[in-house]
Every structure is written in structure tokens, then in C-alpha cells.
Structure 1
């Protein structure tokens, strides 16, 4: 898809449209985003760390890698 923006008023419509399309695509992949700015942050992310309460699941248990970090 191509979206052409030719005036400032069109730009104000293009950004929410792009965010809605991205959220829809992620939802179809099983990723739920709860905040709009999360998409912008996710685009610049190279590593993710989760604490003991962070839950990511596909319904198949497996351990891929263990890393330890110290201060």
C-alpha cells in the first residue's frame, strides 16, 4: 500500500491511519499493544528484557537461553 501526503491536514490523518494499520497487523500476529507509543518504541528496539512478572507465551513451553547479569 502507498499513502501519499500532500498537505498538513492530510498528514494529521496519515499518522493515525498508519498506527491503526500497524496495530491491526500486530493483532493478527497475536501481539496485543495497549498503548499507541508502544509501536514507536518497538520499532527502535533491539533487545527486550522481562522480569519475573512479564509473561510471553505461545502455548508451547521451551527454554531457549539463560543469561545472567550482575551490577
Structure 2
């Protein structure tokens, strides 16, 4: 079976019955889990800073009591 035929079968399987968004979501979820569990130190530092930034923005949006 040629590569062109395999790609055609794979694309038909992927885009049939709107499966592509489901697989894309699963892939994104697995990527985020991988980055949260075993990220390199540089990326881990970036994710921590991003988390702090989002937390600060949430505090700014909330009304003060």
C-alpha cells in the first residue's frame, strides 16, 4: 500500500463523523498534562509565571468588598 493511499485512508478516518475536533482536544489535553507533569526547567518557570499572571488578572477582575 502506497503512502498516498495510507494518507487518504487516514484522512478519511480522521475527518469522518467530525472526529477531528475530538482527537485534537485529546492531543491538546495530553500535551498540557505532559507539560504540567514533566516540563523542562525553563518551560516550568514560564508556566509558573503564566499561572501567577492569570491569578493576578483574576484578582483585578473581581469586585472589591
TM-score band, normalised by shorter chain: 0.3 to 0.5
Bigger relative CO (Cα 8 Å, ≥ 6 apart): 1
**TM-score if structure 2 supplies the norm length?**
0.38
Query: In proportion to residue count, which structure has more helix?
Result: 2
User: Higher Cα Rg: structure 1 or 2?
Assistant: 2
TM-score w.r.t. the length of structure 1 is 0.35
